[in-house]
Amino acid sequence: MNGIHDLGGMHGLGPVVREENEPVFREEWERHVFAVLNLTLAAGQYNVDELRHAIERMDPARYLQTSYYEHWLHAAEDLLDAKGVVTREELLRRAVEITQRSSAAASGTSHSQVSGAPNGSRAPGAGRLPSE
Amino acid sequence: MKPHGTHTDPPPSPALRVQALESLLIEKGLIDPGAIDEIVELFEHRIGPRNGARVVAHAWSDPRYKERLLANGTQAIAELGIGGMQGEDMVVLENTPRVHNVVVCTLCSCYPWPTLGLPPNWYKSAPYRARIVIEPRRVLAELGLELAAETEVRVWDSNAEIRYMVLPMRPAGTEGWSEERLAALVSRDAMIGTAVPTIEPRGGASPR
């Protein structure tokens, strides 16, 4: 498949920038994408070839503008939706709930404990449900 | 292509998206929350280029091991207790005075996790993937590695299964060194092929 991912030999992409002593993960969410991907792979929700193909089907402009772990996240969402394991509607609903919970917590109008604020630099409960 | 995740204002960030996905997978019993921290800890702190450096130092010290390593990378690496995901089909490429090897994955970012850990950002970047296959000498020079004109450069592009690792040349002046001391000379980049080990510290910082 001669898609945007086939970058070998392409011109105009600029210099190779190497950062000294960079961290393994730049952001907390990257840790979670890495873990979720590997655990769903291990659980047999999809295989590596399906993942790679899902990344290769990304919109070309978006592919170039997004990072490695965003590619992974895109592939997981895409495949899990296609297989009916976690639909886009569920994901969106959950994202809205999390946002509402964290803004309620921030304004002090809720008594419930919010675990895993979306923007926390290291939210120990990230991804866990408040009922847990 | 169907747009997705764009019905909130603003659109969900990757942090929010993965949090939503993770919580739903946990709720459905499809992933174990305890395993999340475990796998992150493994790749953040325990699996990394020190593993590959041990393999290289052992090959430098034991010619028979080196033979086995070049003949069947996966098996020889497993002798040192190293293996697993993204290291199932290892091919080890020997640098010699005539041939310098360098590794890339132009199509994605395939990389030998058990021996080198997770890839650095530049390895995953579009410029490296695009350029190393058409102007390797120039890219290597930009990364600080000037090769002699008579040295042949071989660029190895990973496929879906094979994971490559470079066996660099042992630096002169290291005769009689212990494997531990040798391993400390072997950087991640030397095993990708974008650097070579040297006994003089370059730039002071810990080896890349």
Q: Is the pLDDT of residue A36 over 70?
A: yes
What tens digit of pLDDT does each residue of A72-119 get?
A: 999 999 999 999 999 999 999 999 999 999 888 888 754 444 444 444
Active site residue B178: no
Mean pLDDT of A22-42: 95
> B75 to chain A nearest CA, in Å?
22
Instruction: Pinpoint the alpha helices (H) of chain B.
Output: 14-27, 33-41, 49-61, 63-71, 73-79, 113-116, 121-124, 126-131, 136-142, 179-183, 188-192
A24 touches chain B (CB under 8 A): yes
pLDDT, tens digit (0-9, with 9 covering 90-100), for B57-96: 999 999 999 999 999 999 999 999 999 989 999 999 999 9
- Decide: A90 and B24 in contact? Cβ < 8 Å: yes
| pLDDT classification of B191: cutoffs 50, 70, 90 | very high
Chain B, 84-143: which have a CB under 8 Å from a chain A CB? 85, 104, 106-109, 117-118, 120-122, 124-134, 139, 142-143
A61–chain B Cβ distance below 8 A for any pair: no
Residues of chain B with Cβ-Cβ distance to A96 below 8 Å are 8
Q: What is the pLDDT of residues A47-66, one digit of tens each?
A: 999 999 999 999 999 999 99
Compute the count of residue pairs across chains A and B with CB atoms less than 8 Å apart.
195
Domains plus CATH for chain B?
14-45 (no CATH), 48-192 (3.90.330.10)
Digit-coded pLDDT (tens) for A106-126? 887 544 444 444 443 433 333
- Would residue B13 show up in a list of annotated catalytic residues for this protein? no
CA distances from B157 to B103, B110, B151, B160, B163 (A): 6, 9, 19, 10, 9
Q: Which residue of A has its CA nearest to B187?
A: A21
Q: Is the CB of residue B99 less than 8 Å from the CB of residue B169?
A: no
> At CA A78, angle to CA A74 and CA A81, rounded to 5?
140
Collect all residues of chain A within an 8 Å Cβ-Cβ radius of residue B108.
Answer: 5, 52, 55
Of A5, A43, A126, the CB nearest to B30: A43
Which chain B residues are within 8 Å of A68, Cβ to Cβ?
109, 121, 124
Report ipTM for this prediction: 0.86
- Quote the pLDDT of residue A114: 43
The maximal CA–CA distance of chain A, rounded, in angstroms, is 57
pLDDT value at residue B9: 63
| Interface check A40 vs B, CB under 8 A | yes
Residues of B in contact with A60 (CB under 8 A): none
Most confident of A20-29, B7-16, B63-72: B63-72
H helix or E strand, kind and range, residue B104: strand B99-104
CB contact under 8 A, A24 and B44: yes
Domains and CATH numbers, chain A: 28-106 (1.10.472.20)
Hey, what amino acid is at A55? I
Q: Does A102 touch chain B (CB under 8 A)?
A: no
Q: What's the distance, CA B57 to chain centroid?
A: 16
